[in-house]
A and B are shown apart, each in its own frame.
Chain A
Amino acid sequence: MIPIIPDVLVEYQSEIWVSIGESSIMVGFSVLAALLVGLPIGTFLFLCRKGQLLENRIVFSSLNLIVNIIRSFPFLLLVIFMIPFTRFVMGTAIGTAAATLPMMVIAIAHYSRLVEQSLLDVPKGVIHAAVSMGASVKDIIFKFLYVEARSALVLSMTTSTISFISYSTIMGVVGGGGIGDFAIRYGYLQYRTDLMVYIIIIIVIFVQIIQYTGITLARKIDKR
């Protein structure tokens, strides 16, 4: 069977591919930041909570507050608020690379909160047993917490990634481009509703694929 691709998509395909590429960069780096920075911060946040291994009220409250502030910023405002900082770090505040920075910041805050929540579901007894057998904090993180919470961590990553896609759609305001910006430019500014609808369908398909992959993987690695 030959897939039926609407003519408009064929007509604009090179531009669409570029947009998809830009979206992939923004979302991809966000996922990377979430994993490399959000995961450790979320873990640390969990460990600093009351009654946990590294209990520390001051550190917990400060970190908790920062994460909350970033997460409660309307994203568009965060992007604009961050422009001076983005310019300082990236040399420019315009373009896909520059747009990736605020995306990474929100990604870290977003995922770290979900990591903290996921780790809260690990039975306390498991951690007690770990401590009683002389495990170090590092042992407890890697041999107990991450093992026991792994499907929750995968599901959280899935949820986060889908949010990142949504965040990425407004990055046109700082010239970040991406598939969302493409849809807005043509659908809203040039009244190409047909094109916009097709782009929305493409985004929905992407989200479905990510959701399905995440759930399937989470289920597969859950042996509890």
Chain B
Amino acid sequence: MITLQNVTKRYGTFEAIQSISLHIKPGEIHGIIGASGAGKSTLLRMMNLLEKPDEGDVIINNKKINHLKGKEIRHIRQSLGMIFQGHNLVGNKTVFGNVAVPLEIAKVEKKHRTERVMESLQFVGLETFKDKYPRQLSGGQKQRVAIARAIVNDPKVLLCDEPTSSLDSTTTMEILEVLKQINQKLNVTIVIVSHEMDVIRSLSERVTVMADGQIYDVVDIKPTGVHKIKKGAATFVEQLKSGGDSNHS
């Protein structure tokens, strides 16, 4: 689905990403975990070229995309959904208006838009909120609108950068459930970045553990329940492999 091949990203002389290779399989939920500053966001943002690699290739569906320009890049971004820690909704647009924007950008015909927006809103359970404004919603609802907006254009991949980091644990579980549904029912590949072990563990099938701009390990796991968080790449791996409920901190 998405392949990063020896990608390097520098900010000045600092190498935020050091020659990383990573393959995201079609249909999987791939977690990326690591301490703050490890380069998780940078790696994720390379997948839709929000950051261009200084070296190496980004390959989507067997096509190198890192040398594309303007319009073609925008076209690729339109086919990849993305959500963030903040909902980043437009406060002056209704829920419906917000979700409709990607369709307007992709120049989807007007007559098809309403149906697709409503489908998307139904999927996140907010169809009755379509005429509300973001300020009238709870944090979790706003994030669900952001998810609806990210999937309205039928993306094959959904990139998530700390999507639950500003939510409480109950709301986090709700959002993770929605993401699971998107993966299973809509067959969307998901890449999720988090520094929270419980989030990664309850969702992902494969986890990339990052430290200092490099991949420390890639671990296959079966998604399970909620576990406590510990810091440090080695501890992340240890917890992922062991089932993780020993040595709570």
Interface residues of A (CB under 8 A from B): 123, 125-126, 128-129, 131-136, 139, 143-144, 147-148, 150, 221-224
Residue B27 CB within 8 A of the other chain: no
Which stretch in B28-36, B77-85, B110-118, B233-241 binds the other chain? B77-85
Residues of chain B within 8 A of A144, CB atoms compared: 90, 101
Residues of chain B within 8 A of A135, CB atoms compared: 74, 101, 105
Per DSSP, are chain A's interface residues mostly helix, strand or loop, or mixed? helix
A134 and B78 in contact (CB under 8 A), knowing A143-B104, A147-B93? yes
A144 closest partner in B (C-beta): B90
Chain B interface bracket (under 10, 10 to 19, 20 to 34, 35 or more)? 20 to 34
List 11 additional A-B contacts (Cβ < 8 Å) besides A129-B88, A134-B73, A135-B105: A126-B90, A128-B88, A129-B82, A129-B84, A132-B84, A134-B74, A134-B105, A135-B74, A143-B105, A221-B92, A224-B133
A147 closest partner in B (C-beta): B92
B100 closest partner in A (C-beta): A143
Residues of chain A within 8 A of B48, CB atoms compared: 132
CB-contacts of B97-151 with A (<8 A): 101-102, 104-106, 133-135, 146, 149-150
A134 and B106 in contact (CB under 8 A), knowing A129-B84, A223-B133, A223-B135? yes
CB within 8 Å: A-B pair count: 78
Please state if A143 and B101 are interface contacts (CB–CB under 8 Å): yes
| B225, chain A: closest CB distance, angstroms | 31
* Bound CA span A129–B77, Å: 11
24 interchain pairs, CB-CB under 8 A? A123-B88, A125-B84, A126-B88, A126-B90, A129-B84, A131-B50, A131-B77, A133-B102, A134-B75, A134-B77, A134-B78, A134-B106, A135-B101, A135-B105, A136-B74, A136-B105, A143-B105, A144-B101, A147-B90, A221-B92, A223-B135, A224-B91, A224-B134, A224-B135
| A42, chain B: closest CB distance, angstroms | 19
Cross-interface CB contact of B84 among A128, A221, A223, cutoff 8 Å: A128
Residues of chain A within 8 A of B79, CB atoms compared: 134
* Bound CA span A123–B85, Å: 13
- Lowest 10 A-B CB distances belong to which pairs? A224-B91, A134-B77, A134-B78, A129-B88, A125-B88, A134-B74, A132-B82, A223-B133, A125-B86, A133-B102
* Bound CA span A133–B75, Å: 9
* Bound CA span A128–B146, Å: 13
Residues of chain A within 8 A of B101, CB atoms compared: 133, 135, 143-144
Interface bits B58-86 vs A (CB < 8 Å: 1, else 0):
00000000000001011111110110101
Residues of chain B within 8 A of A126, CB atoms compared: 88-90
Most chain B beta carbons < 10 A, residue from A126, A129, A131, A139: A129
Most chain B beta carbons < 10 A, residue from A132, A143, A148, A224: A132
Please state if B104 and A148 are interface contacts (CB–CB under 8 Å): no
| A149, chain B: closest CB distance, angstroms | 9
* Bound CA span A131–B50, Å: 8
A148 and B90 in contact (CB under 8 A), knowing A143-B104, A223-B133? yes
* Bound CA span A99–B35, Å: 63
Residues of chain B within 8 A of A131, CB atoms compared: 50, 77
* Bound CA span A195–B150, Å: 64
Residues of chain B within 8 A of A133, CB atoms compared: 77-78, 81-82, 101-102, 105, 149-150, 153
Residues of chain A within 8 A of B134, CB atoms compared: 224
Most chain A beta carbons < 10 A, residue from B74, B81, B94, B135: B74
| A116, chain B: closest CB distance, angstroms | 19
* Bound CA span A46–B89, Å: 21
* Bound CA span A143–B102, Å: 10
Please state if A224 and B75 are interface contacts (CB–CB under 8 Å): no
Residues of chain A within 8 A of B73, CB atoms compared: 134
Residues of chain B within 8 A of A128, CB atoms compared: 50, 84, 88
Residues of chain B within 8 A of A134, CB atoms compared: 73-79, 102, 105-106
Residues of chain B within 8 A of A147, CB atoms compared: 90, 92-93
* Bound CA span A83–B240, Å: 77
Please state if A139 and B105 are interface contacts (CB–CB under 8 Å): yes
A224 closest partner in B (C-beta): B91
| A133, chain B: closest CB distance, angstroms | 5
Residues of chain A within 8 A of B74, CB atoms compared: 134-136
Please state if B77 and A150 are interface contacts (CB–CB under 8 Å): no
* Bound CA span A126–B101, Å: 12
Residues of chain A within 8 A of B105, CB atoms compared: 133-136, 139, 143
